[in-house]
Each structure stands twice: as structure tokens, then as C-alpha cells.
Structure 1
Amino acid sequence: MKKTYIASLIISMMAPNFAFAGDEHQHEAAENVERITVTGVRQRLEQAGTLANTIMKTEVIGSDLIESKNAVNLTEAIDNSPGVKVSAECSMCGVKRIMMNGMKGEHTTILVDGLPVHTMISGYYAVDAIPTTGISRIEVARGAGASLIAPEAIGGTINVITEEPIENGAEVDMSVGQEGYRKMSLLGKGVSEDGMTRLTLIGQYDERDQVDNDDNKVNENPSQENRSFTARLSHDVNDTNNVVLRVSNIYSEVFGGPMLGETFADGKMGSKSQIIGSYDGVDSAQLFEGGDVRNDYVGKAWETTEWIETVRNEVSLSWLHDFSDDLNVTLSASYADHEQDSFYEGFDYYAEDTMNFYDARFNYVAHDDHLLTFGADYRTEEMRSQSLQGSSNADYTSDSFDYDVLGVYLQDTWQATDELEVNLALRYDQVKADFIDPAKQGTEIDESILSPRMDMRYRHTDELTSRFSAGRGYRAPLSFFETDHGILDGTKGFVIDVDDLERSTSANYSLSFEGEHFTATGSVAWTEVENLAALTETDDGVPKLTQLEEDASVMTYDIALGYQVTHDLTLNLTGEYFDYDSAFKSSYAIAPIEERVTFSVDYDVAGWELYASVVWIGSRDLSDYGYEGYNQVDSNGNVILSSKKTTDAPSYFTMDLRAAYELNETFSVYAGVANLFDYTQAGDEDTPLFYDADGGYDVGYIYGPLRGREAYVGLKATF
């Protein structure tokens, strides 16, 4: 593992004519020279093994697969990957939760280029606004402590890696489709003549309209408009120093509830501002014709409106210095400001969540067989919320909080034998979480905690490899959005009954076979969580964030098979089973999947790229997850028992297709369709709207797809 300081120059078949952008004679000269690409300081150390951890089982979603799926955002890119499920948890506001290893959405940590830039409330809104333009790959690592700097990732980490250019170029991608789907993206890539400076510029805009599959004038999937701008600059100061600066701005607007342009009790509503501005605080006697959620909505438009506007600014800076062949250090800092303005069926809620993160990490080659990684990090987060409606009530309690974590860590990567690699890591953290509302006296959480993790890789043969991981993790349950997607109480606010960290223990084993044409990986994972957060209500109906007394656990089993029939034809098949215990089931707001089979075909022929995937989801007993609801109430607001909703969620499958054709070196066209057979819960089964046993109206009786068929066409230009 010894290193030497050399400028690694790698021959590249695709390098640009950057140094010869002049007249025709210069272009002719460029064609006759050897084209080279300069490998930067970080890439050199990664290739040498002093920055990368290759022991842990990690699924990689490459840019080619992202493009084949026509994934507009992060949730579409990773959905249905092994062990990963994106759960839609509100038919009005469209909140998405990224679940890993059967854990809840709040147990997933999203990193960008290895650094945290997502606050506590970032994982609930604007996840759909994280663009896929300019992403080189997405690394999915499952299990507690999957990242040294993210011990709270009980389910695992998703690391979004921004493309670092090796040549000059640009890409423009435009597509349109059904249900108001539009997307435009721009990607610019620049490399200096000496290869020391690399710049990536990314811009993306996308939108979709509301969807009302059962034609009751209320959507099952909201409209969403996203736009984002990102710039990433990597500069090699010299052969031993590299600096990376990344800045990003993301904007998202979600509007759900009444279908725009329809007529309601307060008249015809043609704009979002008109609907929100019509709020008068007087509830309608009846929301739906005949008191049945399957019939036309006849209440006031604002009574079902959920509007969320999100602005997120991110900045990260990282400096890498290579002291010697045996020692390097990376100093990193990241800043994120997440601002949310929202309106929930008459309740206004504004929040700003600001996070600062600092990390100093050293890598030291202690011996030819030992690489030590050690360092310290500090995270501070401040969330402040307010409500004009809430502030007018003396009993209102806000959910504002302060969160601070100071941690130190040590990791030893040991090449025990030629066949066996072992990675041992330990973190020590001092954690403080404090809800600061005057009604909340004292500090809720002030704890010290140790989080160990072990990863092992054993090569049985050249084709057969075992991996085993085990670890402990923790998380502070601080946000109501993680348990009830923002359906808040405008009268008394929140009741907070949290005084312990969630603590997890997990273990994962996988066996992989990699042959010339056939690959297979089978894995089993177990996770147990103490003090799992859950949402209940007080006797007065106020949301109460509390914790389960019993431990909750889940087992996941999956097998992934791949077969390369020919050089141009690849088949993939994945089967998964999730086994939740009763405690875990009781904590879910929306029933998770239990069985899933995914099959995909990738075929490249004669300039065509063809991709098809089929996803099958098994049936579920919704009563296991506390589902109980009714479609109809009488004139007195009492539920009609004969209208009780089913608790048998049927199995179903969806199919996606995409075809792309390369017209020439610059232009390609593509067309496809998502959810080809247009299967949706509201269109084929039952609406996600319901009344609870007390006659209260809600929107989360969800167990199937909420958005139907979406056909699209597009044009991509690469320069």
C-alpha cells in the first residue's frame, strides 16, 4: 500500500481537444496527438486504496441505469433497488420516504459527495427535488454505522456522487409527457489545459401536474415544480493538495388537494394563491357529496389544500492534503439551510432548519497490512418554526429544537490474509437535543454513546466472496414530519414525550458469486431498535411524539441475479422479503412492502438502447399496521359501518419501458412509458381518503401506486 508522488497520466480514448480549440490546422493536429487525462490527487489516492473503503457491501447505481429508468430525481433513481423502497405517505402533499433494510424513512441518511448536507426535516419534502443531472453514481450502503460520519444512519446511507469531468463538454436534455410532465436539464463540464482544475455546472427544471384517478375533484398525487442549480469546483493546488467546493440551490413547490380549475363550495378555483387566500376558518358541514369520499368533493377548496414551498441552500468545502506516502488528511465543512413555508388544510407552518458540519479525517498507513482512519467531527443544527394561527393560541407549543453532536472515531482496515479483509470502527459521540419552546423545560437528550461497527470480506475463490457487517447506531427523534408527514394541530401544537436516543443493533451477511456471464448475491439482514419513535395522540387529539417501550426489529432477505446473455443483452432478477415484528408494524404510518420481485432487461443493438423493468409487490394484511377506515359518514358525522375500507391490500405489478436511439455523435432521441398498464390504487382499488372510527377525515389510507401511466418523449444533445 506504499505510495509515490507521481503525476498519473492515463490514456483516454474520449478526451477532448481542449488545448487545440482553434483553427482547422489545430483541429487536424489534435487528431494526431495522443490524448491524455490527468488523474487528480483524490483519484490517485482512491486508486491506491487510502481513501476508499471497499469491504462494505455497497450497491452502486450508475448514471447509465439512472438514464435507462428516466429517473428525474433521487427517489426515482433508487426506488426498487435491493433493500430500498420509496414510500409515498400522503396523497395530498406527496411526501416521500426513502426506506432501507425495512427501516423507516428517518433512518436513512443522504450524503452528497460523502458529506451531510441534509437537515432533520430535509428528508420529507424536496427529496423529489434532488436532481439526477450530473450524478455519476449513487452508492447505497445498508446497515447501522454504514458511514463513519453518519452514525444516525440506522437503515443505511445514500451517497450521491457528483460527476467530476475528465474532459470538456456539455449535455442538454429535454423531455415532455403525460400529466404535465416536463423536464429540462443542462450539464456543463470543463477541464483546464493542465488538468488541475475541473468544473461541473448543473441545472435542472422539472414539473408534474396533479393526478385525480377516481375523478372526485381531489388529487391522489399533487403537482410538483422543482428547479435546482449546482456548481462543483475541484482544484489540485499541486501534487499533494486538492480543494473541492460545491454550492447548490434547490427550490420545490408542492400543491395538493382540490383539483385546480374545478368549482367548490367557495367558487371556481383557478390558482393556488386564490385557494390559500380564500381561507376563512369556517368548516363546511360536509366535504363530499353524500358524505362519501368516493364522490365529488363539495367542501371549500382550502379545507383539503396542502401547499409546501421549500428552498434549500447547500455549501460544502473539502481540502485534502497528502503529507507523505503514509499519511493524508481531509478537512471538510458543510452548511445547509432548509426553509419551508406551508399551508395544511387551514394551518400555516413555517420552519427554517440550519445545519453546520465540520470533519477532520486522517488516513495513516501504519503497516503494509493496516490502514488507520481517525478523526473528529462536529454537527450543530438549529430548527425554528412558527405559525401565525398557532401563535394566536395560548396553549400552542412549537416543535423548534437545537441539536448538537461532537464525535471522534477510529477505524482500522486490516488485510489479515490474501483472502480476508477486516474493518473495525468505533465512534464516541456526545449528543444533546433540546426542544426550546418555553413550555418544554429542561434538555430532552444529553447522552454519550459508543457506536462500534465491523465489516469483513472473505474471498473463498476468485468468483465467490462473503461479506459480514455488524454495528450499533443511534438517532435522535426530533421532527414530527418523520411520523406524520406534517398533519399538524393548529390549536395546541405538539406534545413531545422524547427523552432517549433511538439505539440500533444490526447485522448483515451476503454471499456473492461473480462469473464471466453470471452474477448472484444473496443477503440477509437483521436490525433491532430500542426507543423507536412513534406518533400517538393525547385525549384532546393533539399529536404526541413518543417512543415505544418494547424493542422493534425487522429481518430482510434478498437475492439478486444477473446474466449477460450476450455483450449487448443483460437480464437482472431480484427477489426480496421483509419480516417486521409487531412493534415495528405498529410504528408505521403507511404499510411498507413485505415481498417484492424485480425483473429488468437491458438490450443495446444497432444504435438502440432498450430497457424494460417489471416490479411485483406482494399482498399485505393492512390490519397488521393498524389500518382502519371508512368511506362514508352520515349527516351527523358518524361513520357508516357498511362503508368500511378493505384491509386486504392486493398484489400488483407495474411495468416501465424506455427506448433510445443515437441519431449521430451529438443527438439522441428517446421515448418511454412508466406504469405501462396504468395501475393505481384510486383507479383500480379504492381512494386513499378515509374517515377514522370517530368520523375524522384523513388522507393516508395508502397501499398502492398513486400516479398512473406516464408516457414521454425526449431529446438529448451531447457536445
Structure 2
Amino acid sequence: MKILLLLTLLFYNCFAQKSVLTGKISDKSGGIPGVTVIIDETGVSAVSDDSGTYNINNIAHGNYTITFSMVGYSKQQKKIKLLSGETQVLNITLSEETAALEEVVITGTMREVRRADSPIPVEIITPKLFRKNPTASLFESVGMINGVQPQLNCNVCNTGDIHINGMEGPYTLILIDGMPIVSSLSTVYGLNGIPNSIVERIEVVKGPASSLYGSEAMGGTINVITKNPLKAPVVSADYFMTSWGEHNMDAAVKSSTGKATSILGVNYYNYAIPTDKNHDNFTDLTLQNRISIFNKLQFERKENRAFSLAARAVYEDRWGGEMQWSKQWRGSDSIYGESIYTKRIEFIGLYQLPFTEKIYTQFSYNWHDQNSWYGDTPYMANQQVGFLQAYWDTNFGEKHTFLLGAAMRFTKYDDNTPATANSDNTKNRPQNTPLPGLFIQDEWAINDKNKLLGGYRFDYDKNHGGIHSPRIAYKFSPTNMHTFRTSFGTGFRVVNLFTEDHAALTGARDVVITEALKPERSFNSNLNYVFNWPASAFILNVDVTGFYSYFTNKIVGDFDTDPTKIIYDNLNGHAISQGVSTNVELMFNFPLKVTAGISYMDVFQAEENSMGAEVKKQQLHAPKWSGNYIMTYTFNDKYSVDITGNWYGPMRLPILPNDYRPEYSPWYNISNIQLTKKFTYGLELYGGVKNVFDFVPQYALMRPFDPFNKYVNDPVANPYGYTLDTSYNYASLQGRRMFLGVRYNFF
């Protein structure tokens, strides 16, 4: 019997006829070489030759799914049935993948233009990129951009800001749908309250933008473009949890009523497990309970005129401090805790006037209330910001695109500090700051290869008078593979220290302002080169930018003269931020994509000392070297692996006199890995490990055992007069942690 079975199998293998699959792969120009052809069920593959022809031999008869893919073209799949001994011809026409080339950006010029055509270099991150390393807020997500650094400024309450090219957070203007909605008071905690669920894309401009956006846009602009309800999924949800006990949930639903289409989204984040892995009796991660509700309406109008309204409400309760702290100790000097209640409401609108000419009006309003205690020091603040803008967008001939507009920004700010008191500190006097402005811009398409942009803005501040902000930019594209951009501009910033600098709020140091502070000014220039090489086996994109910024009247905080104080004044000298940033993107014709970036920055201030000699001092929290990397490999459209990470070189840190902690941080790297499994009907399951190498800073708090500084004057136990210091920080105290999540999108 065994002999008979063996002979039968031998007969079948010898005489059963195998099948052949062949054909030609073309586009509108002819055959395409280098296209990968895969039989999904067996993994057998082939690559098309110089004429676009492919052949796969010795295929058993059966039903198969054939996938055709190449970088720069839309992927295609075909289902076939092969008969025994059949030679089946399957010709395919692929269409060019133009999504990347046709990406529309608005931030650089306040107009919708193709990213490739913009004279201002704009970097884009999308939710697709967020999903490679899921996070609970925008603050963490933007760290995936080379040269953009989310910086934690306090080890207890985990406040943070976003640095662009080494410049502190107040130099970065945060916009939502083009409106300056996150500023001043809300920069301290507002960034954590923007959920990824509302984001369609984020546009980042590194360099001056004051000619369009006014104050605060000195160093760079981050514009959060919210989702268009017309393009959003009908239902979407994303939930993940970590081994530290963090929970994050995003959910959204789309609906239509009459001529209005709405998207309603909710984000909820909760972390409620006090953790102290470095054994200093302080929480390693701030406990948070946050909910954000977002609603956006898009209205259908005649001739496709724009009209949208959006609103968002945020509530957050966070605290960090000694492990035994509870709310009964809020504001006491017995057990140290930093407790912050944040309430925030935002409204944003865009309306195109019913004229033949394109005239747009935009408005925004936000109300932000902070109720906080830093130990036994209260900080109670309320801020309201109203913004109204109108602009005319038109063309003069075929070569000139013209923009003319006016803006009015009004800020009302009140708190319980001397910042809003009268001169003798006996009466409260809220700050009312109107800031009107006019702006003009002309974009001249000289020819197909040359484009010139000029812009100018005039703002008037009641304390500082008229402020002029010009800008000029030039783009040269000799071929499709090479693009050069250069720009020069000025910026200005009207400063409110108490609302922008968390160090000024903490009870650990007193704030001293030595003079009437003047507005800061900056002069910025950059040179950008983009190289795009679409080879047969891969597409290579290289983006190199050199930047230089010169600051006058820079407001600096002196942490060194007195360990119990922060002394603010205008710099008697100048400050410089300069460097080079390089991004490389490599997409292969097999499913591997690699992106890597590296930045070199030299950020410092120069000031004359009492001897008349110029003294140079490096900027705090500005590493000279930094970079990021993202690697994605996809298996048959069902499984994918993402490796992401950021690395930083030594950065200068705020230390106390005779501090035992090093003045510069070490080199370090934070790496993450994620595995994603896609199912049918828009369902995905993902999980992985964050901070794979378990990096945690060696030093954190100074004197955590005496947080209220009750025993600092003991010459025996504390000979150097150390005090509690929460600002020595350069990375999160969270170590390695696992995460698991599920997401669903139904269109």
C-alpha cells in the first residue's frame, strides 16, 4: 500500500502541469521596469524587466491574489484563477501616486498651494505618521519632526513647551486652522489638551512668520489643521493603554443635517496610578484626568464658498508631588504637591464673503482659566483672547498672487501676582492688550523655474508703538529633481513672563524683574535645498536647511546669580540661533520606508561683562546635536512593523551653585517599536514597547525630602544652601512600558 501511494505521488509530481503568469506593466508613457509582482498566498515574487514585462513560472493551479507595487505608483491587486498547465496573460496599467506631490499647505503663505510650489518650506505630519508611535496629545506627536523638540520643563507637574531649532517655546506660534488660539497662558498646559483625534495634518514652518501672523511667530509656526467633516470617517475610534496604567480614548462620528456636515469628537485621557521608580518619594509622571470635546460644522454654500464653525471644550485635573499627597493637602505646607485645574473653551470660524472677489473673514475666541497651587504658592489666572481677521486673495495677471489683510487681536489677562497689580501692589489691575495689524503679500511666478514672494506687516502696540515685519522669499527649481529656497524676515514678540514661563510660576524661586522689559526683535534667514531622485528601485528625497537667527532685546532668565530667584531683564547684547538640519526619506519598491533626520544647532547669547569682554553662554535645553528616525515594513497589507525614535546630544541644564548634578545632559536615545495587524472593515490591532532601552535620567529633583525649604539654612546638613529645584530636566522619567490598542474607521 505504501509503495502504491509513493508511486502515485511520484506520478503526480512528474506529470501534473504547472501554470505560468506573465504580462506587461505600463503607465501612460509605456512599460515600467522594477515593479514588484507578488502572489500573496505563496509569497512568490518577480520584478518587471526594462520593458515592463514579468514572468512567474511553476505555479500550481488554484485561486490567487496578485499584488503589483512600486514606489511612486498606486498599488493594484487582482484576483485570478489559474488552470493546470495554463499560461495566463495579465497586463496591468499603474497610475502615478501623486498624493505626496499634490499635498496642499496653507501656513507659509496663508493660501492653499501645492507643497512643492510653495516658496516657503513647510513640513507636514499626518495622523498616519502619528499612528506609528501612538501618543495622547499633540505635544508628544510633534517630536517626530526633526528639529522640533517637545521639552518638559518641570519634573513635578510635567509642564512643557515646543522648541523649534533650539529656541524656547514662546518663540513658537501655535495655530489651529490658522488662528493663533494657543498662546500666553495656554502655552503652559494648552498643548497637552489638543487631541490627535481632531487633527487632519500639522504644518510646521521653521523660521520667521511675523509678516503674516504677528507677535510670537519669531522662530517658527505650528498650524494644526483640523479635520474636514466632508472627508472624515462616518465613525472612528482609537483606544490604547500602557503598562504604566495610562488610558487614552478618541472617538468621532460624522452626521449631516440640511446643508451642514458635522464631526463630533471626544478625547479622554486618564492616568491615576502614582509611581515612584527612582525612590525620591515624588511621582515620576504627573497624574492626569482630561476630557476634550470637539465639534466642527462645514456648510455647503453657492459656488463652493467657504463657511465653517468649530468649538472645543477642555477640562483637566492634574497633580504631581509627594507620593502621599491628596487633595486635602492642596495649598498646605505639610505635604508638597503641584495641583492644576484647567478649564478652556475655544471658538473658531471661517466665512467667505458672497462677492466675486475672494474675501475671507476669520475669527477665534478662547477663554482659559487656571486654578493652581505649587506647594503653598497659589497661581490663579484667567485669560481671554479674541481675534478677528479679514483678507483679500486675488490675482493680478497670470503671474502675481496678491494678499491684503487686516487683523485685530485683543487679550485680557488677570492673575493673583504682581503682574496685574498697580505700582504699590494694593489694587488688582488686569492687563488689556489690543494689537491691531495690517499685512500685504505678493507672490510673483516669474516663470516655471523661479518664484519670488514679498511680504510686510505693520502692528501697533500701545506700549511699544509701531512694529514693522518685512519678509522676502525666493524659490528656484531648475529641474524636477532640484529645488532651492531662501528667505529673510524679521519677527517681534510682546512678552508676558508669568503666562509663558513655568519657572516664574513655581514656588521654588522668586521672580525679579529688573527693568521695564522691551519687546524682542529677531532677524532670520534660511537656505533650503530639496533633492528628489525617483530611481527604478527606490525614491530618495533629501531636504537640507541652514538657518540663522539674530535676536535683540532678548529677555533672559538668570538662574545662576541667586539660587532662590529668577532675575529677568533684556539681554545687554545679542543672541544667535544657527545650524543645519537634514532629512532623508527612502522608499523602496518593496514595502520598506526609512526616514531619518539630523540637526546641528548652536544656540547662545552673548553679553558684555563688567570688564567689557563679551561672554558667550549656551542656551538652556538646546542640544547641539539631535535627530530622529522612522522605519516601516509592511507584510502583505495586513501586518506592519514600525520602529521610531529620537536621540539627543548634551544640552545645558539649569543648575544651582556648587551643584553636584552635571551641567550638561548625556547623549541619550528613546526608541519605540510597534506591530500592527489590519483586519477587514477598517479594524486594526496594534501594540508594542515605548522607550525600548529603558532610558531614565539619573538626576531629577534637588532636596525632595525638604520640598518647602524649611531646613535649607542648616550649615551642617546643607552646607551649600541647596533648595528644592524642579527645573533640572531633559527627558521623561517614564522608563520602558508596553502598550496595546485598537482602532476602527468606517467610511
TM (norm. structure 1) is 0.79
CA contact under 8 A between 1:121 and 1:481: conserved in structure 2?
Answer: yes
Residue in structure 2 matched with residue 30 of structure 1 by the alignment = none
Matches for 1:416-495 after TM superposition, within 5 Å? 416-432=446-462, 445-488=463-506, 495=513
CA distance in 2, matches of 1:185, 1:333: 27
State yes or no: 1:569 paired with 2:592.
yes
CA distance in 2, matches of 1:359, 1:476: 19
Q: 1:492 to 1:367 in 2, by over 3 A?
A: same
Q: 1:452 to 1:717 in 2, by over 3 A?
A: same
State yes or no: 1:219 paired with 2:283.
yes
CA contact under 8 A between 2:475 and 2:486: conserved in structure 1?
Answer: yes
Residue in structure 1 matched with residue 622 of structure 2 by the alignment = 592
Q: For residues 82-127 of structure 1, give each alpha carbon's deviation from its aligned partner in whole angstroms, at most 9, with x where no partner exists.
A: 2210111100111111011221110011101111112311111131
CA distance in 2, matches of 1:353, 1:512: 42
Q: 1:451 to 1:146 in 2, by over 3 A?
A: closer
Q: 1:420 to 1:446 in 2, by over 3 A?
A: same
Instruction: Letter of the 1:51 partner, please give it.
Output: R
Matches for 1:96-495 after TM superposition, within 5 Å? 96-145=160-209, 148-164=212-228, 165-166=230-231, 169-191=234-256, 197-208=260-271, 209-259=273-323, 262=324, 269=325, 271=326, 273-276=327-330, 279=332, 281=333, 300-302=334-336, 305-321=337-353, 323-324=355-356, 327-386=357-416, 400-432=430-462, 445-488=463-506, 495=513
CA contact under 8 A between 2:148 and 2:163: conserved in structure 1?
Answer: yes
CA contact under 8 A between 2:605 and 2:619: conserved in structure 1?
Answer: no
SS in 2 for 1:126: helix
CA contact under 8 A between 1:496 and 1:545: conserved in structure 2?
Answer: yes
Q: For residues 105-164 of structure 1, give each alpha carbon's deviation from its aligned partner in whole angstroms, at most 9, with x where no partner exists.
A: 100111011111123111111311210002110000111126712442111110001111
| Count of aligned pairs | 608
CA distance in 1, matches of 2:160, 2:425: 31
CA distance in 2, matches of 1:394, 1:475: 27
Q: 1:567 to 1:315 in 2, by over 3 A?
A: farther
Q: Which moved more, 1:456-465 or 1:566-575?
A: 566-575
CA contact under 8 A between 1:675 and 1:709: conserved in structure 2?
Answer: yes
Q: CA deviation at 1:430?
A: 0.3
Q: For residues 663-694 of structure 1, give each alpha carbon's deviation from its aligned partner in whole angstroms, at most 9, with x where no partner exists.
A: 2214221102211121110xxx2234358953
SS in 2 for 1:468: strand
Q: CA deviation at 1:210?
A: 4.3
Residue in structure 2 matched with residue 659 of structure 1 by the alignment = 675
Residue in structure 2 matched with residue 611 of structure 1 by the alignment = 642
Residue in structure 1 matched with residue 551 of structure 2 by the alignment = 529
CA distance in 1, matches of 2:700, 2:654: 17
Q: 1:424 to 1:44 in 2, by over 3 A?
A: closer
Q: Which runs of 5 or more residues in structure 2 are unaligned?
A: 1-73, 75-102, 608-614, 704-711, 713-717
CA distance in 1, matches of 2:345, 2:262: 19
Residue in structure 1 matched with residue 540 of structure 2 by the alignment = 518
Q: 1:487 to 1:689 in 2, by over 3 A?
A: farther
CA contact under 8 A between 2:654 and 2:727: conserved in structure 1?
Answer: no
Q: Which moved more, 1:166-175 or 1:88-97?
A: 166-175
Residue in structure 2 matched with residue 26 of structure 1 by the alignment = none
Q: CA deviation at 1:167?
A: 6.0
Q: CA deviation at 1:250?
A: 1.3
Q: CA deviation at 1:534?
A: 1.8
CA distance in 1, matches of 2:425, 2:434: 28
State yes or no: 1:714 paired with 2:735.
no
CA contact under 8 A between 1:252 and 1:311: conserved in structure 2?
Answer: yes
Q: For residues 2-44 of structure 1, give each alpha carbon's deviation from its aligned partner in whole angstroms, at most 9, with x where no partner exists.
A: xxxxxxxxxxx9xxxxxxxxxxxxxxxxxxxxxxxxxxxxx99
State yes or no: 1:689 paired with 2:702.
yes
CA contact under 8 A between 2:701 and 2:724: conserved in structure 1?
Answer: no
CA distance in 1, matches of 2:616, 2:314: 34
CA contact under 8 A between 1:332 and 1:359: conserved in structure 2?
Answer: yes
CA distance in 2, matches of 1:150, 1:192: 38
CA contact under 8 A between 2:211 and 2:490: conserved in structure 1?
Answer: no
State yes or no: 1:58 paired with 2:122.
yes
CA contact under 8 A between 1:95 and 1:485: conserved in structure 2?
Answer: no
CA distance in 2, matches of 1:331, 1:79: 32
SS in 1 for 2:158: coil
Instruction: Letter of the 1:176 partner, please give it.
Output: M
CA distance in 1, matches of 2:427, 2:599: 42
Residue in structure 1 matched with residue 97 of structure 2 by the alignment = none
Q: For residues 47-66 of structure 1, give each alpha carbon's deviation from its aligned partner in whole angstroms, at most 9, with x where no partner exists.
A: xx993252210100011001
Q: Which runs of 5 or more residues in structure 1 are unaligned?
A: 1-12, 14-42, 263-268, 282-299, 433-444, 632-643
Instruction: Letter of the 2:587 partner, please give it.
Output: Q
State yes or no: 1:647 paired with 2:663.
yes
Q: Which moved more, 1:162-171 or 1:514-523?
A: 162-171
CA distance in 1, matches of 2:547, 2:105: 32
Q: CA deviation at 1:396?
A: 7.8
TM (norm. structure 2) is 0.76
Q: 1:109 to 1:398 in 2, by over 3 A?
A: farther
CA contact under 8 A between 2:146 and 2:628: conserved in structure 1?
Answer: no
Percent of counterpart pairs with the same letter? Answer: 22
SS in 2 for 1:515: strand
SS in 1 for 2:353: strand
Q: Which has the larger radius of gyration?
A: 2
Residue in structure 2 matched with residue 628 of structure 1 by the alignment = 656
Q: 1:233 to 1:567 in 2, by over 3 A?
A: farther
CA contact under 8 A between 1:590 and 1:702: conserved in structure 2?
Answer: no
Instruction: Letter of the 2:545 partner, please give it.
Output: S
Equivalent residue in structure 2 for 1:499, among 517, 526, 530: 517
CA distance in 2, matches of 1:599, 1:539: 40
